[in-house]
Amino acid sequence: MSNQSIAIVNYGMGNVRSVQKAIEYIAPNDYVFLTDDPGLISDADRVVFPGQGAMGACMKALKEHDLVDVIKSCALEKPFLGICLGLQLLFDHSEENDGTVGLSIIPGNIVKFQINNLKIPHMGWNTVKQLSKHPLWHKIDDNSRFYSVHSYYVQEHNKSVACGLTNYGVDFTCAIAKDNIFAVQFHPEKSQKDGLQLLTNFVNWNN
C-alpha cells in the first residue's frame, strides 16, 4: 500500500522525530506527519501514538491538546500503533505520579518494577517472546531483541490481548493486540532491523 497518510501524535512528549524518520525510511511513498491537530489525526489512514516521560504529565498534555477523544476514536476505527508510553496510556490506571488515570481503551493497570537486584529503569536490549501470531510479527523471529527504556509495566486484566512477553526480573507483557490496535513497550524506531520490520508490517497491515 502506498500514498496513505500516517499521523504521528505529537503532544510535546516523546521521541517523535526518530519515529517519523524511521517510518519515512520504510514508507517513502506515504505521507508521514507529526501533528497535535485532532482533525488531521482523525482524517489519517493510520495513527502512531508514541510517548516518553511520566504518565501524569503525558495525560495532562493530551488533555491540554484536546487529544483524548480523537485518540480513543482512532484506536477503535483504524490501524493504531502505540509505542512505549503510548502503550501504557491505553490502560485504565498507572501507579506513576501517585496514581494516574489512563485512557481506559484496554482494561488493566500499569505498575512499577519492584526488583531489588536489577537497575530501574529497564534499559537496553531484551528478547521478546511472541505469544500469538500477528501480522506485525511478520518476518520477525521469535525471541528477537528490541530496545526498551521504562520503569513501569503492564498488568493487563484480559490475557487474550497479550501478544509479546519480556522478562526483566519478572515476566511482563511488552506487546498487546486487540482488533486494529497494536502497542509495544519497546521502541521499534530504536531497534534496528527488527524494529524497522515491525514498522513496515504496521504500514502494510490490513486488520
Strand boundaries in the chain, DSSP class E: 5-9, 31-35, 46-51, 80-84, 93-94, 100-101, 108-112, 122-130, 144-150, 152-156, 162-167, 171-178, 181-184
The whole-angstrom separation of Cα 151 and Cα 149 is 7
Local structure of 116: helix, strand or coil:
coil
User: Which 3 state secondary structure label does DSSP give 191?
Assistant: coil
Known catalytic residue at 58: no
Is 134 an annotated catalytic residue?
no
Q: Catalytic one among 58, 74, 84, 163? A: 84
- Gap between the Cα atoms of 199 and 193, Å rounded: 10
Handedness of CA 73, 77, 83, 84 (dihedral sign): positive
Catalytic annotation, pick one of 58, 122, 150, 189: 189
Task: Select which of 58, 150, 156, 187 is catalytic.
Answer: 187
Distance separating alpha carbons of residues 135 and 154, to the nearest angstrom: 22
CA atoms within 13 A on the CB side of 26: 21
| Measured distance CA(94)–CA(76) in Å, rounded | 22
Supply the residues annotated as catalytic.
Answer: 84, 187, 189
